Amino acid sequence: MDKSSDQLREVHVPHHLAGVFSSHFGANQNVRIFRAPGRVNIIGEHTDYNDGFVLPAAIDLYTWAAIAPRSDRLLSIFSENFGESAEIDLDERFPKSRDHWTDYVRGVAIMLQKAGVPLPGASLAIYSSVPLGSGLSSSAALEVSVASALLAVSGHTLPLPEVARICQRAENEFVGARVGIMDQIASCVGASDKAILLDCRSLNYELLPMPAGVTMVICNTMVKHEHSGGEYNDRRAQCEEGVCNLKKYYPQIRALRDVTLAQLEAHRTDLPELIYRRCHHVVSENERVLQTVVAWHKGDWAQIGKLMAESHVSLKRDYEVSSRELDLLVEAAAGRSGLIGARMTGGGFGGCTINLVNNASVAGFTDAVREAYKNALGIDAEIYVTTAGAGVSEVHGNA
Ligand code: GLA
């Protein structure tokens, strides 16, 4: 996929989605459209649920939700991506997740109501250009766009960090994936040409300007990951086991965020080897995020590239969330002209790599990586040449 054709399509989405909405739910309704972005993480992987630091950016791929209120108690939904309709009864007494895309919508509706937002019934048409299951937060983009749309028809507003928390709760408590807060916050507060340095404990964040000469190139292994349950939740449990063990020596710690490398090393042999490695990734990754920010302010891109490479190795060896395909894409990028840094991005087990590349080298870089990956695995990688985009917003004018 190349940037210019992709952006052209994005421009037409609201108009198209308004048409889809009328053909499914009837014309002449007061339709409003909301758009929430996916995200890429530059560095700080698997640190968010350890109260740590992350450095993501919202990307210019989005999920759109067109909405109008209904007079009954149903959410009637049409997904343009799946070509599927579904209904959710807002008064259902014992809603259960079904391992289906509608779980995200249902989960958000439940958590909004639990947070005291009285929801009316609504018709919703949804379309996403965020590739699904690719580590670019298609789930958070869906949750945040739907939450914003539902809030609008209910006449309520909530501060963005609260919207993010509600969406995270939907995923944790209803869908069953114990994800952290990074994706939802990035989708809510992203800003054009800015990376977001987020403290996942306080939710305080700082926007760091993306330098004009650097492009984010995202390479998709085309291998989908699965989040609800499984390995992701195991990693989280292993971190909690680490905290539990380390508390015996450092009672004041609440999360791995509070542990220094020196403290961890001092008790290396007191921890099961696997738990030590998981903790080592998280504690060292937190330091790498903070070092990246120092280098960012200095414009020291060589140092940032080095930290990204270390992050990838740590995710591969200590945290064991990389995959052969991700490693191949990182190797295919290494040493290419114009490359600043490359690593896997997102939860892992498939999905994408993030590559920071000097603008002038982007075309040559993408061609070379695509070819190397194809030669190694016979798979055509999709490559998204992105800029850091804005967070969730209502789309005016085109609908
Ligand atoms: C997924 C989760 C995030 C975060 C990343 C790993 O994207 O949704 O909360 O934990 O994995 O950094």
Contact 182 CB / ligand 1 (< 6 Å): yes
**Which one from 51, 183, 258, 318 is the annotated catalytic residue?**
183
State the sign of the Cα–Cα–Cα–Cα dihedral 149, 155, 160, 162: negative
In this structure, which residue's CA is closest to atom 9 in ligand 1? 180
> What one-character DSSP code corresponds to residue 22?
H
The torsion angles phi and psi of 25, rounded to 5 degrees, stand at -120, 0
What's the mean pLDDT in 235-259?
98
Q: Which atom of ligand 1 lies nearest, measured to the CA of 181?
A: 9
For residue 28, the model assigns a pLDDT of: 85
Contact 49 CB / ligand 1 (< 6 Å): yes
Compute the distance between CA of residue 310 and CA of residue 306 in angstroms, rounded to an integer: 6
Q: What's the chain's Rg over C-alpha atoms?
A: 21
Contact 127 CB / ligand 1 (< 6 Å): no
Q: At residue 227, does pLDDT exceed 80?
A: no
**pLDDT single digits (tens) 329-369:** 999 999 999 999 999 999 999 999 999 999 999 999 999 99
Q: At residue 187, does pLDDT exceed 90?
A: yes
For residue 246, the model assigns a pLDDT of: 98
**pLDDT single digits (tens) 28-38:** 899 999 999 99
**pLDDT single digits (tens) 62-90:** 999 999 999 999 999 999 999 999 999 99
CB count within 10 Å of CB 86 equals 17
Residues 6+ apart with CB under 8 A from 47: 53, 54, 180, 200, 256, 257, 282, 285, 286, 289
Stated pTM of the model: 0.95
Q: Which residues of 272-296 are buried (b: 16+ CB within 10 A; e: fewer)?
A: eeebbbbbbbbbbbbebbbbbbebb
Segments of 148-293 assigned E as strands = 194-199, 205-209, 214-220
Compute the distance between CA of residue 128 and CA of residue 144 in angstroms, rounded to an integer: 12
Provide the percentage of residues in the chain whose pLDDT is more than 90: 93
Q: What is the mean pLDDT of the chain?
A: 95
**pLDDT single digits (tens) 128-160:** 999 998 999 999 999 999 999 999 999 999 999
Note if 72 is an active site residue: no
Compute the distance between CA of residue 367 and CA of residue 118 in angstroms, rounded to an integer: 51
The torsion of the CA quartet 167, 169, 172, 176, rounded to 10 degrees, works out to: -80
Q: At residue 3, does pLDDT exceed 70?
A: no
Nearest to 35 by CA among 69, 66, 7, 8: 66
Nearest to 332 by CA among 215, 221, 223: 221
Q: 109 with 169: CB under 8 angstroms?
A: no
- In the reported structure, the alpha carbon of residue 45 is separated from the centroid of ligand 1 by a whole-number distance in angstroms of 7
Contact 319 CB / ligand 1 (< 6 Å): no
Q: Which atom of ligand 1 lies nearest, measured to the CA of 182?
A: 9
Q: Which residues of 7-40 are buried (b: 16+ CB within 10 A; e: fewer)?
A: eeebeebbebbbebbbebbeeebebbbbbbbbbb
The torsion angles phi and psi of 99, rounded to 5 degrees, stand at 60, 50
For residue 9, the model assigns a pLDDT of: 59
For residue 14, the model assigns a pLDDT of: 85
For residue 290, the model assigns a pLDDT of: 98
| Structural domains of the chain in order of their starting residue, each with its CATH number | 10-210 (3.30.230.10), 214-386 (3.30.70.890)
